[in-house]
Amino acid sequence: MEENREQNAIFSKRVKAGKRTYFFDVRSTKSNDYFLTITESSRKFDDGNFIKTKIFLYKEDFNKFSDALNETIKHVKNELLPEYNFDEFTRKEEDSNL
């Protein structure tokens, strides 16, 4: 299934996040239009299978989605968790890649 996902994607970005992995894939329609799929994949512990949740995002919604996501993240960072160090996990990941 992983091969099929990669073969159909024009651009793909994978983000490992602990027990989850996110995939951001740009795909094309039959009419050569583009859309984005965002997939969360996490391992189900009792049987080892993966659970995948997918969002399809179309070009006419890119700006609204991006604006809402950025506003929501900014609210959490600045209003709800202003003292939390959000770079903590970024540094750990960068250090493990050395």
State pLDDT tens for residues 18-55: 889 999 999 998 898 999 999 999 987 778 788 999 99
The number of domains in the chain is 1
Domain of 43, CATH number, reads: 3.10.450.700
**More confident position, 97 or 70:** 70
The answer to whether the beta carbons of residues 58 and 50 sit under 8 Å apart is: no
pTM over 0.85: no
Cα three-residue angle 84-85-86, rounded to 5 degrees: 105
* Domain span at 44: 2-96
pLDDT at 48: 77
pLDDT at 89 over 60: yes
Q: What is the pLDDT of residue 82?
A: 95
DSSP E strands, 1-98? 11-17, 20-28, 34-43, 50-58
